[in-house]
Amino acid sequence: MRKRPGLYDDIGKKARDLLHRNYAHQPPNHYHDQCIDWNLDFSCQFGEIIPGLKAAIRLIIPDSTRAELRYVHDYIGINAGLGLKANTSKEFDPIVYFSGVVGTTLFSMGTALGFDMSTRALNKFNIGFTFNTDSLLTSLSLNDKFDSLEAAMHYTFNHRTTIAAEVKHNVSEEWTTVTIGAQHAVFPFTLVKARANTDGRVGALVRQHVCEKLYIAISGEVDIKTVKSKTPKLGFSMALSP
Q: pLDDT digit string (tens) for 179-232?
A: 999 999 998 899 999 999 999 999 999 999 988 789 999 999 998 887 766 778
* Mean pLDDT along residues 86-114: 89
Element (H, E) at 77: strand 76-86
Q: What is the 3-state secondary structure (H, E, C) of 128-165?
A: EEEEECCCEEEEEEEECCCCEEEEEEEEECCCCEEEEE
Beta pairing partners, 3: none
Contact present, 104 and 5 (Cβ < 8 Å): yes
Residue 226, pLDDT score: 78
The pLDDT tens digits of the residues spanning 165-189 come to: 999 999 999 999 999 999 999 988 9
The architecture (CATH level 2) of 8-240 comes to: Beta Barrel (2.40)
| 17-26, 71-80, 122-131: segment of lowest average pLDDT | 17-26
The pLDDT tens digits of the residues spanning 157-169 come to: 988 999 999 999 9
Residue 27, pLDDT score: 56
How sure is the predictor about 49, in pLDDT bands with cuts at 50, 70 and 90? confident
